[in-house]
């Protein structure tokens, strides 16, 4: 019997081990479902200095949660979930109910905990001798005792060896210079690539939407194909100077204005009640009663505030949190700074203007009020998040980062093509703080000022949409790791963990339009598409390739929103809802309702390009289905798993 066991253990191949999925039992009747991991590879309110309070924790609730995004589909088989091939092991935790674990590092931890408890059962070691029996936030269940040589003993031994082999397979793929969350990012990119492959095959518009998602929300590692570059005949310039583009000295921060229209608007001692002079003060005050509510009509606030919604929202948010008093910020200084920032948002931009900044700021304010986050962040961290939201798109030109890179813009040259706009927004904002009467952080001590600047930089840089998948993977890995550990508590006792939550909070606020009431969402969509189309017009005029979703003659708005929600917005908000459960369930409900509405409005798809081979290009600057190729670039050694379309 023992010889047979040894033979069966030795006969297991790595191929068999890598293609399995399982269900891991937690405690008595509680389980984590672990999908195939794939080889892929506030502190206390009293602290105003930004340091984390030792008592600050975020409890992960033991409540039923929805798992509907593509992240919970099989990584190894697009059609069949590996959960159908589940098996049982036991590990210790009584803090969480049935849940799904998809991040590789959390899967490894779950597997190792299963191995540990199997070992206790196989060896009959007393659990009270274990060094992990205390201080881990979980309890070790009493193991079942097996008799060496019987069938149950052999079965558990085989399962334990499989667990160890799988863990080794995963650990062998980890690169020493990568974080564990990169394992999740790589896995999610691979899964998204599969999803986009299927989506793009549905129609010509599906291919364009897939290319838009890939080029906007994935931070791809570009590799130069020198041979292809030599053979390719130049059809259109990949970089061109846009007519009317301004050239400024490299040492000068462009966009900072010298004269401001509000310079003399704050004379005398009396300050406007809501930060701006308006004949609609009573109506504006009534609207601001809903500042803590998700989905407030920010466009109406803009109308009532004489097109100064950002100043009004920021002033109300800071006042409601008593931040002006806490950090000794004179109200006049704060209003002057906010009016200056608002003046530096480009009014002619259909989407990236001060109304969008006000919307993101108000959404950030509401998310910071989430009951699950109560008492988690310090006043300084809260102020940094609100400040980051107000400035996150200041002096946005209404063009994408990729456009600025493709046209060799001065900003792209200054910031070496890396998060070009986000770096510019930060530079402009901190430069404006140096204006006379604008330094709202004047009374912060040196440590507070340095901490706030670092946090604001990190949060604004996280609004670079190409960082989306990394942000999502970081947050999901952190949450699932704590769940597998069994404690159900996020201590958030270091800067990395705390800023990670805040970065995702601001990122969620920046991608919150699809979660708002449908009339507001529809208006935001129309404004964003018009901004895209204006960029496409510039690209057509410059004889450049028109960016995905920027051609006003071929873009399919309704289908693009469905893809945007399915592959970007829903996975993000699903993860955030997991973190603060059950506080964000209403937001998820609204998101799914809006998605269903846009799905119902998708017009019939036009014939595919294969059915129209006798026709030429529909318009100048438009590429056919066969010409469009995109690829999610993975790490070294993963190229064979990337789909090219």
Which residues carry a binding-site annotation for AMP?
352-356, 393, 510, 561
* Omega before residue 234 within 30° of 0, cis: no
Q: What burial class does residue 599 get, using C-beta atoms within 10 Å of its C-beta: 0-12 exposed, 13-18 middle, 19+ buried?
A: middle
> Do 386 and 315 touch, CB atoms closer than 8 A?
no
Which of 96, 352, 424, 507 is the catalytic position?
Answer: 352
How many separate helices (H) and strands (E) can be counted in the chain?
24, 6
- Check the CA dihedral 429-430-436-439 and report its sign: positive
> Do 17 and 347 touch, CB atoms closer than 8 A?
no
> Do 157 and 122 touch, CB atoms closer than 8 A?
yes
Q: Which of 31, 1, 30, 37 is nearest to 163 (CA)?
A: 37
Annotated binding-site ranges: 352-356, 392-393, 510, 561
Distance between CA 514 and CA 568 in Å, rounded? 11
> Do 134 and 87 touch, CB atoms closer than 8 A?
no
Distance between CA 97 and CA 113 in Å, rounded? 17
Sole residue written with tokens 């509680």 = 30
352 is known as an active-site residue: yes
CA distances from 389 to 184, 275, 386 (A): 27, 18, 5
Q: What burial class does residue 7 get, using C-beta atoms within 10 Å of its C-beta: 0-12 exposed, 13-18 middle, 19+ buried?
A: exposed
Q: Which residues contact 607 (CB under 8 A, 6 or more apart)?
A: none
Q: Which residues contact 144 (CB under 8 A, 6 or more apart)?
A: 90, 121
Q: Judging by DSSP bridges, how do beta strands 99-101 and 30-34 pair with one another? A: parallel
Q: What burial class does residue 600 get, using C-beta atoms within 10 Å of its C-beta: 0-12 exposed, 13-18 middle, 19+ buried?
A: exposed
| Collapsed DSSP state (helix, strand, coil) of residue 522 | helix
CA distances from 560 to 182, 215, 484, 548 (A): 28, 14, 36, 10
Q: Tell me the angle at which helices 468-485 and 495-510 cross, rounded to the nearest 10 degrees.
A: 130
- Tell me how crowded residue 408 is: count the other CB atoms within 10 A of its CB: 14
Annotated binding-site ranges for Zn(2+): 356, 392-393, 510
CA distances from 615 to 606, 609, 610, 618 (A): 14, 9, 10, 8
Rounding to the nearest 10 degrees, give the CA dihedral for residues 534, 537, 541, 542.
70
DSSP 455-469: HHHHHHHTT-GGGHH
> Do 550 and 539 touch, CB atoms closer than 8 A?
yes
Q: Which letter does DSSP use for residue 147 in this model? A: -
CA distances from 513 to 192, 295, 360, 459 (A): 22, 9, 9, 19
Beta bridge partners of 100: 33
Q: Which of 416, 428, 494, 491 is nearest to 457 (CA)?
A: 428
> Do 570 and 563 touch, CB atoms closer than 8 A?
no
Which residues carry out catalysis?
A: 352
């Amino acid at each position: 019997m023992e010889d047979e066991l040894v033979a069966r253990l030795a006969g297991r191949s790595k191929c068999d081990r890598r293609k399995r999925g399982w269900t891991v039992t937690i405690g008595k009747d509680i389980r984590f479902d672990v999908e195939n991991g794939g080889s892929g590879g506030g502190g206390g309110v009293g602290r105003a200095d930004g340091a984390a309070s030792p008592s600050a924790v975020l409890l992960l609730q033991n409540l039923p949660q929805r798992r509907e995004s593509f992240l919970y589909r099989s990584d190894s088989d697009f059609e069949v979930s590996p959960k159908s091939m589940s098996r049982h092991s036991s590990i210790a935790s009584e803090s969480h109910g049935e849940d799904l674990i998809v991040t590789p590092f959390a899967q490894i931890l779950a597997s190792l905990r299963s191995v540990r408890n199997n070992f206790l059962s196989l060896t009959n070691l007393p659990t009270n001798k274990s060094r992990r029996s205390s201080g881990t936030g979980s309890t070790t269940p009493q193991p079942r005792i097996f008799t060496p040589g019987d069938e149950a003993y052999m079965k558990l031994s085989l399962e334990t060896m499989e667990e160890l082999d799988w863990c080794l397979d995963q650990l062998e793929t980890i690169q020493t210079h990568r974080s564990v969350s990169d394992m999740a990012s790589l896995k999610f990119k691979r899964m998204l690539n599969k999803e986009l492959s299927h989506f793009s095959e549905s129609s010509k518009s599906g291919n364009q939407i897939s290319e838009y998602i890939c080029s906007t929300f994935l931070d791809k590692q570009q590799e130069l194909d020198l041979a292809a570059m030599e053979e390719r005949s130049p059809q259109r310039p990949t970089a061109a100077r846009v007519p009317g583009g301004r050239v400024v000295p490299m040492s000068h921060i462009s966009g900072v204005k010298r004269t401001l229209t509000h310079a003399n608007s704050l004379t005398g001692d009396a300050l406007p009640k809501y930060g701006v002079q308006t004949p609609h003060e009573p109506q504006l005050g009534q609207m601001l009663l809903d500042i803590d509510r998700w989905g407030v009509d920010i466009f109406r606030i803009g109308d009532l505030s004489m097109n100064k919604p950002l100043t009004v929202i920021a002033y109300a948010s800071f006042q409601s949190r008593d931040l002006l008093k806490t950090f000794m910020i004179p109200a006049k200084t704060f209003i002057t700074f906010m009016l200056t920032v608002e003046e530096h948002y480009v009014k002619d931009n259909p989407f990236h203007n001060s109304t969008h900044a006000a919307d993101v700021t108000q959404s950030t304010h509401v998310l910071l009020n989430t009951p699950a986050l109560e008492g988690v962040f310090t006043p300084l961290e809260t102020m940094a998040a609100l400040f980051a939201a107000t400035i996150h798109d200041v002096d946005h030109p209404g063009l994408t980062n990729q456009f600025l890179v493709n046209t060799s813009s001065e900003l792209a040259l200054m910031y070496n093509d890396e998060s070009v706009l986000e770096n510019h927004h930060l530079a402009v904002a901190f430069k404006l703080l140096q204006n006379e009467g604008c330094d709202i952080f004047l009374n912060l001590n040196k440590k507070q000022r340095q901490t706030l600047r670092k946090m604001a930089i990190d949060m604004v840089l996280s609004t670079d949409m190409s960082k989306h998948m990394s942000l999502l993977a970081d947050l999901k890995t952190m949450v699932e790791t704590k769940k597998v550990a069994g404690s159900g508590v996020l201590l958030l006792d270091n800067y990395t963990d705390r800023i990670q939550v805040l970065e995702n909070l601001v990122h969620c606020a920046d991608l919150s339009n699809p979660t708002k009431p449908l009339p507001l969402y529809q208006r935001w969509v129309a404004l964003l598409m018009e901004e895209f189309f204006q960029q496409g017009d510039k690209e057509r005029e410059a004889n450049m390739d028109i960016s995905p979703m920027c051609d006003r003659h071929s873009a399919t708005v309704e289908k693009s929103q469905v893809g945007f929600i399915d592959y970007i917005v829903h996975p993000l908000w699903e993860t955030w809802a997991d973190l603060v459960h059950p506080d964000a369930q209403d937001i998820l409900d609204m998101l799914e309702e809006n998605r269903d509405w846009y799905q119902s409005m998708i017009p019939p798809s036009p014939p595919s390009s294969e059915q129209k081979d006798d026709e030429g290009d529909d318009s100048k600057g438009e590429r056919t289905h066969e010409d469009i190729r995109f690829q999610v670039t993975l790490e070294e050694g993963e190229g064979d798993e990337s789909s090219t379309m």
